[in-house]
Structure 1
Amino acid sequence: MIDGADLRRARRYVDVTLEHLASQGGKSPSHLSRIEGGRREVTPNIVALYERVLGFRIGGPDDPSIPTVGDVDRRSALKLAGATVFGGAAVEPVVADVEDTAQWLAWEIWHRGSGPAISEAVVPIERIPAMRQLVAVRQVLRDQDGLLRFSTPGLIDFHIASRVFGGIATGRRGDLETAQTSHETDQIIRSFVERDTMAADTLGRWMRTGATPVLRVNAAGILAKLRTPEAADAVAGALRTDEGARHLYLAAVAHRVLGLAWDDALRYATTPSYTEDYAARLVNELRNPRDPAARWCSAVLLGHLNVADRDPVKAAVAENLRTEDSRENLRTMAALLAGADPVTA
């Protein structure tokens, strides 16, 4: 008789997600998760759905997901024993580190971009014991549908920052090449980088010579948060000459400050359009004390909007000229007041 563990083993064998399987059968991922976890009955219709999507008979003599005697390794044995069920297994593999698992969960939630939680069904078997510990101390919450989320949303930024900084400290670019980090995550990474001059040097090198615009803009974004005149000048100078990184940084500011969807922010970074509300928000961003590169980007966007002659803009720029400690930012704001292109002036 086929049970939920058989269904999960077969699904994972061909690397099909619960979300995809559910979409093919008019079911919800949480419903299928409960079936795989033994909390709902396995019906013939469900078995037929799995077999149709996966492309083989489950539990039969030709089921490729059933290991043979010669290839049963520890991972397969644990699967067959039901250890993939998050709720309980008698035998556990050597556990992944708890902190590493927290970082993995944060990265998965952030990278999938589908909400603040993911299904327990996607947790790799080697991370299940560590995930149980995170649930036990209530750093991670598990609901009745088997969805996992952090108890405090800010933990996502913290664990992503910890993971990214680990890569910076060891010279691994992978995470910073994958996707653009957020303003909040950069602020946390900055607190680590401030205590590690070698990490700052690595970021400086990636900002100048990184292979992709995403890597270069991520490095620039973290360095900008150091809030020293030297770092601010280096970042603004890099953005001035690096069109790809500049476009992404301008888009990030438009996304955060103007509340635009990311695709709209990318377009706005190239062809900004004037509204009184947008101009007011960008003027306010000129006073951002935590990110000199965001101040630089705001000045660039305002320059492209041709609003330098408006009183609120002139007042904000005049105020910043008295307090700004970055020479590159002073240069850019002076160009803005003069009606020149802030990037090329």
Structure 2
Amino acid sequence: MRCATVWYGREREERAVSQVPEVDGLRLRAAREYAGFSLTRMAQATNYSKSYLGLVETGVNPVTLEVVAAYERALGIGMYRPDINHPRLKKIEGPEHLQRIREAVEAGDPDIFAQGPTSSSIDAAVAPVVGPGAIGNFRRWAVSGKTSTLRANAVSILGFLPGRENADIVVRVLETDATVRRLCLASEVSRLTQCGWDVALAVADDPTTAPEPRRLAAKLAKEAVDPKDTESRWCAGYLLQRLAPVLGSGS
């Protein structure tokens, strides 16, 4: 009976984990670093050892329901920052892929950031591990990248990085580069509402066309005070200001 109970519990645990989208080590690491938790602090908060959590985050140890629940208790149930709803969304395929991306951008190769829109998990995972050389490259790409996709992705990375210079570049690009601004606004709408990309672009062009303006405004209000993401703060403020006529009319 004991063996049957253990087996059933493990089966239930694996099934429960599979129901949470994209719960893997990289997602947990991105959530932790986005919240500003070091691995040591996370170990203290979850009562797991630092070495064990490190192995989970790098994919050596499996992600169990208990570990996911521990991260949720420490970081909040909203730790799964949703990705944009885009047909060409780029994602990290594993720790080795993340390492290749990091090495590429350090060497001046934009790699995945020039190939299509990047996910929030990529931005949150890459930003904390890049060095000064890569940060300089992202600053350059944000301003003068060859494509609007590269410029917008670079803005997203800089938005996660601390420092006045990074924040100033994000704001300057969003204020002066209309194409990048449209992509970033649409990404914010898509991420928050999970609407189709065509709808997100339409809302970016005219926020008053949002299908559920009050619901969007409520989500934007939280993003507008997020201290961890300059891009989201700017986009949220921009969209809220232009949603005001609809909200004021009682629609």
Q: Same fold (TM over 0.5)?
A: yes
1:167 corresponding residue in structure 2: 104
1:300 corresponding residue in structure 2: 238
SS at 1:306 equivalent: helix
2:218 corresponding residue in structure 1: 280
Determine the C-alpha separation between the residues in 2 that align with 1:158 and 1:288.
Answer: 27
Aligned length: 162
* Alignment match of 2:205 (pick from 248, 255, 270): 270
Q: Aligned pair in 2 of structure 1 residues 305, 181: CA closer, same or farther (>3 Å)?
A: same
1:222 corresponding residue in structure 2: 157
* Alignment match of 1:241 (pick from 145, 152, 176): 176
Asked if 1:253 corresponds to 2:191, the answer is: no
Displacement after TM superposition at 1:270 (Å): 1.1
Equivalent residue letter for 2:152 = V
Q: Could you state the TM-score of these two structures normalised by the residue count of structure 1?
A: 0.42
Q: Deviations over 1:146-204 (max 9, x none)?
A: xxxxxxx99737555433322211111242111111122101110112xx111111111
Q: Could you state the TM-score of these two structures normalised by the residue count of structure 2?
A: 0.57
Larger-Rg structure: 1
Displacement after TM superposition at 1:228 (Å): 2.2
* Alignment match of 1:200 (pick from 135, 151, 165): 135
Equivalent residue letter for 1:242 = D
Displacement after TM superposition at 1:219 (Å): 0.8
* Alignment match of 2:126 (pick from 181, 185, 189): 189
Determine the C-alpha separation between the residues in 2 that align with 1:308 and 1:267.
Answer: 16
Whether the 8 Å contact between 2:112 and 2:118 is mirrored in structure 1 is no
SS at 1:281 equivalent: helix
Q: Which runs of 5+ in 2 are unaligned?
A: 1-59, 63-79, 81-90
1:84 corresponding residue in structure 2: none
User: Over aligned residue pairs, what C-alpha RMSD do you find?
Assistant: 3.0
Q: Deviations over 1:102-138 (max 9, x none)?
A: xxxxxxxxxxxxxxxxxxxxxxxxxxxxxxxxxxx78
Q: Aligned pair in 2 of structure 1 residues 227, 308: CA closer, same or farther (>3 Å)?
A: farther
User: After TM superposition, what 4+ stretches of structure 1 lie above 4 angstroms from structure 2?
Assistant: 157-160, 307-310
Query: What percentage of aligned pairs have identical amino acids?
Result: 31
1:50 corresponding residue in structure 2: none
- Higher share of residues assigned helix: 2
Displacement after TM superposition at 1:232 (Å): 1.2
